[in-house]
Amino acid sequence: MTHQTGTFAVQGTTIAGLKETVALAGRILNKLGMVDYLGHVSARTEGGIIIKPKHSPKITGMDKLEGRHMIVVDVDGTLIEGDEAPPAEVFIHTEIYRRRPDVQAVVHTHQPAATTLGLVATPLKPLLHIPSSYVSDPDVGLWPCPLLVTNAQLGAELADSVGQRDFCHLQGHGIVALGGSVEEAVVRAVMLEEQAQANLAVLSTGLEPREITPGEIEQLQSHRAPVAGRWAYLRELVEAIQ
Ligand SMILES: [Zn+2]
């Protein structure tokens, strides 16, 4: 395999390998019920942004994505590699990358629990131990707009709402989860969903839950397994059905 330069999303990963990882991320999120044919994962490279194309008769469910389907856009969202059109909401990705040089991957989903919790704009309480080590700040960010992010202006508004966070609700729409790699962004999205499920369940009881304290979160973070281990598990979930 040729080692290409120009990729800094995951050190040592080729462009082709990164396209496979972006496609795999879509299949994993689909397997977990967090996306259907909508939503997209992207990764930044020095040569552009790798992203899932717009859904079409050829690009259908996320469960069928392969690396060869991936396209590359520039920072304005213009197609620079591939045959398929960029997603209408490519500006979610471009405007976040523009403002956050630390972010190498963006996950956008309409995952059900986190999206529902975003409707009530309530703080996301740290309730579950491992998810709380990833989603430690109850203020996960909220962009109070249900519109499709179909231009750079809306993307910029969303990116401003994200600020320096790892997450943000798109109210009445979905979420974004950011990371230093595709793997990290996906794991964060999964942890956000688990934490949101617990929050919704507790909210429905009307009872006050015991929250995990900042000190406990620090301990959990120091003992937590690396993202690579969790990614290996998620990958197996998808490979088991192939
Ligand atoms: Zn969307």
DSSP 197: H
Q: Which residue segments constitute the domains of the chain, with CATH numbers given? A: 15-236 (3.40.225.10)
Would you call 36 helix, strand, or coil by DSSP?
Answer: coil
Query: Nearest Cα to 42, choosing from 2, 1, 82?
Result: 82
**Ligand 1 centroid, distance to 89 Cα (angstroms):** 7
**Ligand 1 centroid, distance to 34 Cα (angstroms):** 12
pLDDT tens column, 7-62: 344 445 799 999 999 999 999 999 999 998 889 999 999 989 999 999 888 888 88
**Ligand 1 centroid, distance to 38 Cα (angstroms):** 7
Q: Considering the entire predicted model, what is its pTM? A: 0.93
CB-based contact 143:116 (threshold 8 Å): no
**Ligand 1 centroid, distance to 37 Cα (angstroms):** 10
Q: What is the pLDDT of residue 241?
A: 46
pLDDT tens column, 187-237: 999 999 999 999 999 999 999 999 999 999 999 999 998 999 999 999 999
H-helix or E-strand spanning residue 199? helix 182-205
Q: What is the pLDDT of residue 121?
A: 86
